[in-house]
Amino acid sequence: MRVLILGGTTEATALSLALSKDQRFETLLSYAGATRAPRPAPTPWRVGGFGGAEGLARFLTAGGYNALIDATHPFAAKMKHNAIEAARLSGVAFLAIDRPAWKMGSGDAWTMVPSMSAAALALGLERKRVLLTIGQKDLAAFLAAPQHAYVVRSVDPPAPETLPPDAISLPLRGPFVLGDEIALLRAQQIAVIVTKNSGGKATEAKLIAARQLGIAVVMVERPARPNWRVTAEDAQSALAWLHQIASTERGA
């Protein structure tokens, strides 16, 4: 059974690892290319786009794929809609991994905002030291708030021209542990964290650290949820779905 995983998340890596140990599946993991040096996958992998929904549908048909798994980042809205349409056009079985969003708990000081520009406004006029964990493509919004000092954490170092005037770059890759997050927030004297509501355990430690240290969080809400028919919350549930599909195709 041939499986294409649209990846870039910890769930995609975990799922490809599980499938690499099962001879019933031939798996290809596809990265969008947002990270210049993605982690090597335990299965064959590729980097780059497909040319929209129609291009992805042609890729699925030409490759003889039986299943498509959308395990892209929760904020990869365009790719998610393309995946749904490509599955419809090709007739391939489709599942989306819908990672649960983070929820504000007791002791949290979150400000929920709908966009990056709203996040920059939410920082206010008074100078603050801000940790940005948002991805390089979203830095432009903070050029409009140059009064703040920024610490930008991303997998790849951003291009200097994309950084706000008073900013330093920390090229680091998760997962991050609580002790290190507390140490970072203290060492950098962070007053506010700006992040996307990506969900998941790999980067949740910063929110726990912020709660313990009394640091404010500006949380960018997810884009509108696509109209998925079949979803799974994690890699294990996606694997169970694939097992069911494989059994059905073999008449078991």
Region 81-86 average pLDDT: 96
Q: Where are the alpha helices (DSSP H) in 74-173?
A: 77-90, 116-122
Decide if 105 is inside a domain. Answer: no
pLDDT exceeds cutoff 60 at 251: no
Count of domains forming the chain: 2
Strand spans (E) along 39-197 = 45-47, 67-70, 93-97, 110-113, 129-133, 149-154, 167-171, 192-196
Looking at the fold, whether 29 and 124 belong to one and the same domain comes out as: no
| Residue 171 belongs to domain spanning | 110-220
Looking at the fold, whether 197 and 161 belong to one and the same domain comes out as: yes
Question: Residue 42 — very low, low, confident or very high, per pLDDT cuts 50/70/90?
Answer: confident
Looking at the fold, whether 88 and 130 belong to one and the same domain comes out as: no
Bond preceding residue 175 cis, omega within 30 of 0: yes
Decide if 114 is inside a domain. Answer: yes
Amino acid at 21: K
Decide if 130 is inside a domain. Answer: yes
State the CATH number of the domain containing residue 90: 3.40.50.720
Which of 37, 72, 12, 7 has the alpha carbon at shortest distance from 155? 37
pLDDT-wise least confident of 96-100, 158-162, 213-217: 158-162
Amino acid at 188: Q
Looking at the fold, whether 211 and 231 belong to one and the same domain comes out as: no
Q: How far is CA 40 from the centre of its chain?
A: 17
